[in-house]
Structure 1
Amino acid sequence: MALLEVRDLDVRFALRQGEVRALRDVNFTLDRGERLGIVGESGAGKSVVAFSLLNLIARPGHIAGGSIRFDGQELTGLGERGLRRIRGNRISMIFQDPLMTLNPVLSIGEQMVECLKAHRRISRREARTVALHKLQQVQIPSPATRLDQYPHELSGGMRQRVIIAIALLLDPDIIIADEPTTALDVTIQAEIMALLRELCEKHNVGLILITHDLGVVSQVTQRMLVMYAGRVIEQGPTREIINDPQHPYTQGLMNALPQMATPGSHLNQIRGSMPSLSQLPPGCAFHPRCDFMHRADGSARHACAERVPDFVASGNCRVACHMVAEMLALDARPAEEEAR
């Protein structure tokens, strides 16, 4: 049984102009110690997935349907007291901006001690010893000194290491990292991601990495989900998707990488922009921007513009695309004819 199992997750926001579906039919699993990446443009629904797992969706948002099972326990109907035993304790979260996460008027040590005391019966001296050990684990220099410093006294990379140390304080089963290196320079990004991967491997901790950086996903994760307009459109082993993306949106993301452009020429880009969730086009939400659709014949165009595509298996991946389904069907015909 998977450690985390998400089935048909549906998240909605009640707005004045009507109800908006931020997530629809999201399905995935995470095994113990597995590293999963979730990628997509801003507005695709990546962070909403992360907040849904811990039921941190703020009003007017709510989980309208689906199931989130963690270690056999259903989380969607769990009360606040039950969720408090899960949050931070068994599932930890690393947010984008450490300055927004850390309390500016408390020292690093005070914050780590309070976190431990909120979840465990432990003395302040014991809690401080645990905090010091976690800072050592994340390779912060002079950890005893850092315990008595305040967030503003640390660099961005140091603050992010502190956040990772806090996430590890209670030895969680899963860490959710929501764009953990957005505000850092490239060198520090690489160090933080290498550290996060090493810690997850060493302690058999599951990782859900939310990012728009395909390079980071390819280096850190084993499986990945590609999201568009609140829906998963492709999922499978990271290496397979990176090396041979099937969905035209995933292909567009890969082609938009700087290294994919000819030196001296304009960068490749996907036409148009992500649609508003309150005004999604009918059929496949990506079809107005899809190069495949613009080259397709009449029947294929009608399918893309009228019906939401189902998932089809392509190798070890699953893809929600009418074009891919059509190509797979054509490839299967000669084999079926030979079998006859």
Structure 2
Amino acid sequence: MALLEVNNLDIRFAVRGGDLRALREISFSLDRGERLGLVGESGAGKSVAAFSILNLTAQPGYLAGGQILFEGRDLAAMSERELRKIRGNRIAMIFQDPMMTLNPVLTVGTQMVEALQSHRRLSRRAARQIALDRLKQVQIPSPDKRLDQYPHELSGGMRQRVIIAIALLLDPDVIIADEPTTALDVTIQAEIMALLLDLCEQRNVALMLITHDLGVVSQVTQRMLVMYAGRIIEQGPTKEIINDAQHPYTQGLINALPQMGDPGHRLHQIPGAMPSLNRIPSGCPFHPRCQFATDQCRTDMPDYVASGNVDVACHEVRKLIEADTQPRETHS
């Protein structure tokens, strides 16, 4: 049994004029110690999927269908009191902006101690010692000094390390990292991702990494999901998808990487933009931007087809696979 299993997740937002579907039949699993990447452009539904796991989707968003199973128990069916025992304790989350996560009027130590005491019966002294140990683990210089500092007194890289330390406070089984290096420079990004990967491997923690950076995904994750307009359009082993992407959208994302272009020439880009929730095209939602789109793509939503170890939602990929499996005529 998978540690975390999401089945046919359907998230909608109730607005005037009718519901908007933010996630459409999302299904995936995460095993203990596994590293999973969610990739796609802004608006693809990556963060909504992450927030939905811990029932953090703000109103007017709501769960319209599906299951979110953690060790076989449905998180979507739990009461708020039961979820409090899971959030931050068994499943921790690292948000995009540490300054939005940390309380600016409380010291780092106060916030870490409060997080520990909300889940464990610990004295303030014992909780402070655990907080100090976690800051050491994330390689913050002078950790005893940082405990008594306020968030604004720390650099961006240090603040993100504090957030990771807070996520590790209660020895979670799963860490969900939502664009954890967005606001950092390239050097600090690499340090933070290396640190996160090392900590997950040491502690056998499952990692769900949400990002638009395929370079990071290729280096950190073992499996990846590619999302478009609220739907998973390709999923499988990271190396297989990066080396031989099947869906035209995934191919476009890879071709848009700077290293895929020629020096001195414009970077490749996917034409058009992600559709808004109230203007999702009929059929395959990617068809207005796809150079391979046919009439079938414009009218029918594609089902998944297996291409090796990768599942792809694409009519044209299905046709190619079916053509390869057709028996060839022999002439005597």
Please indicate, yes or no, whether the TM-score normalized by the shorter chain is above 0.5. Answer: yes
The letter of the residue matching 2:285 is A
- Do residues 194 (structure 1) and 187 (structure 2) align? no
1:5-64 deviation digits (Å, cap 9, x = unpaired) = 000000000011321000001010000000000000000000000000000011100011
Structure 1: 4+ residue segments shifted above 2 A? none
Q: 2: distance between equivalents of 1:318 and 1:11?
A: 22
Partner of 1:309: 302
Residue of structure 1 in register with 2:22 after alignment: 22
Which residue in the other structure is 1:271 paired with? 271
Give the drift of 1:160.
0.2
**TM-score scaled by length of structure 2:** 0.98
3-state SS of paired residue (2:41): coil
Query: Is 1:318 the equivalent of 2:307?
Result: no
Residue 211 of structure 2 is aligned to residue 218 of structure 1: no
Indicate the SS of the match to 1:127. Answer: helix
Q: What does 1:169-318 correspond to in 2, within 5 Å? A: 169-293=169-293, 301-318=294-311
Q: Which aligned pairs between 1:3-42 and structure 2 lie closer than 5 A?
A: 3-42=3-42
SS at match of 1:195: helix
- Cα distance in 2 for partners of 1:145, 1:64 equals 47
State which of 321, 324, 330 in structure 2 corresponds to 1:331: 324
Aligned to 1:298: none
Mapping for residues 146-185 of structure 1, pairs under 5 Å:
146-185=146-185
Deviation by residue 1:204-255 (Cα, 9 ceiling, x = unmatched): 0000000000000001000000000000000000000001000000000001
Q: CA deviation at 1:170?
A: 0.3
In the aligned structure 1, how far is the partner of 2:33 from the partner of 2:5? 14
> How much has 1:124 moved relative to structure 2?
0.2
State the identity %.
Answer: 72
- SS of 1:326's equivalent in the other structure is helix
Distance (Å, rounded) in 2 between the aligned partners of 1:330 and 1:41: 31
Tell me, what secondary structure is at the counterpart of 2:288? helix
Q: Helix, strand or coil: the match of 2:85?
A: helix
Distance 1:91 1:191 in 2: 23
Structure with greater proportional helix content:
1
Q: Residues 63-119 of structure 1, C-alpha deviation per residue, up to 9 Å, x if partnerless?
A: 110000001111111110011000000000000000000001111000000000000
SS of alignment partner, residue 193 of structure 1: helix
Q: 1:134 deviation in Å?
A: 0.3
Shift of 1:156: 0.3
- Within 1, Cα distance between the matches of 2:262 and 2:304? 34
What are the superposed Cα offsets for residues 106-161 of structure 1, whole Å, 9 maximum, x if unpaired?
A: 11000000000000000000000100000011011111111111101100000000
RMSD: 0.8
The normalised TM-score by structure 1 is: 0.96
Distance 1:100 1:6 in 2: 28
Amino acid at match of 1:311: Y
CA distance in 1, matches of 2:291, 2:195: 39
Deviations 1:262-287 (A, max 9, x none): 11111111111111111111100000
User: SS of 1:180's equivalent?
Assistant: coil
Unaligned runs of 5+ in 2: none
**1:66 aligned counterpart, secondary structure:** strand
- Report the AA paired with residue 200 of structure 1: C
Q: Which residue in 2 is equivalent to 1:73?
A: 73
AA partner of residue 121 (structure 2): R
**Match of 1:320, as an amino acid?**
A
Aligned to 1:292, the other structure's residue is in SS state: coil
SS in 1 for 2:301: coil
**Shift of residue 260 of structure 1?**
1.0
Partner SS, residue 57 of structure 2: coil
Structure 1 position 334, deviation (Å): 3.5
- The secondary structure found in structure 2 opposite 1:141 is coil
Question: 1:296 maps to what in 2?
Answer: none
User: Residues 184-204 of structure 1, C-alpha deviation per residue, up to 9 Å, x if partnerless?
Assistant: 000000000000000000000
Letter matched to residue 322 of structure 1: H
Tell me which amino acid in the other structure corresponds to 2:325.
Answer: A
> Partners in 1 of 2:34 and 2:207 — Cα distance?
6
